[in-house]
Structure 1
Amino acid sequence: MDLRTLTPRQVEDFLYHEAALLDAWKLPEWRELLTEDCHYYVPACDTPAGASSTSSLYYIADNGFRLSERVKRLMKKTCHAEYPRSKVLHTITNVQLLEATADTARAASCFVTYRHQRGHQDIYVGRHEYRFVAVGGALRIREKKSTLHMEALRPHGRITLIV
């Protein structure tokens, strides 16, 4: 698959599919959308733009193995932070295909993730940045960075779900 033929609509459909899997807590299926050597990042709210996960605080800085383990843990009934599971709704907007070469593509979108659990509602807002590759003729995420556009995690105090 030559990613130069990728259209903004295909990227949009892919991101909507990703959001639907997360909303349905189909985390193993969601994990399959990412490459084995993927990276998933969520920088801290006050991390300067462009700062790396090796020199600055990130809430999440997972490689493929750690992300797979996170998914396994979140799916267990013994995961006290997410049992019973939160009701979540991922809203994606302003999808942009930023660039595409034969091998990779970059895209971005804005997001709002609503989380309802134990009588509380948390709202996470921000921007996703993606780096895509083709694996076996299918689009896959090699890197996802979810930057929260919030001053702090208050009143939430935590991120125990995939934003």
Structure 2
Amino acid sequence: MSDLVAIIYPSEAKAEEVRQRLLKLQKEYLISISDAVIAAKTEAGPVKLNQLVNTTAVGAVSGSFWGLLIGLIFLNPLLGVALGAASGALGGALSDYGIDDAFMKELSEKLQPGNAALFVLIKNMTPDKVLREIQDAGGTVLKTSLDDTKEQQLRDALAKAATAPVPPETNAA
């Protein structure tokens, strides 16, 4: 069973930085992620989703391949590619992979303009090592499906970053 974790960050760039850290940890087999989406609330108000997988592009590529193949059979490969790409892109745009888009947009409406929420669907993880890697980024837990003790560990780890003193900047002469 997968767990959902949604954390609010002060900017989309900060959320992207944490997502990249998690993807790096996935390469080290410390976490297994099904989906990781950033929902950013723009200054104008609407919520923009930054998906990990662009289903429209994937659909267009696979549709192009199948369209070319069918087009070759019927001696019109260019028409087959065009129709295949269009139908594949449409199918990809209409499909939803991982976390439900409507759910993310609904939760993200609560964000302040300029803030972003990182939604992560986690298959499994080594909690102590993952928390150690992301705790200095801070953030506020928006929602989780973790059990109460794991959720409290996450909240405590992120709160440490908020209360940690900021190191003084060094000026090079």
After TM superposition, is the score higher than 0.5?
no
For CA contacts below 8 A with separation 6 or more, give which structure has more relative contact order.
Answer: 2
Q: Which has the higher helix share?
A: 2
Q: Which has the higher strand share?
A: 1
TM-score range for the pair, normalised by the shorter chain length = under 0.3
The two structures have a TM-score, normalised by structure 1, of 0.26
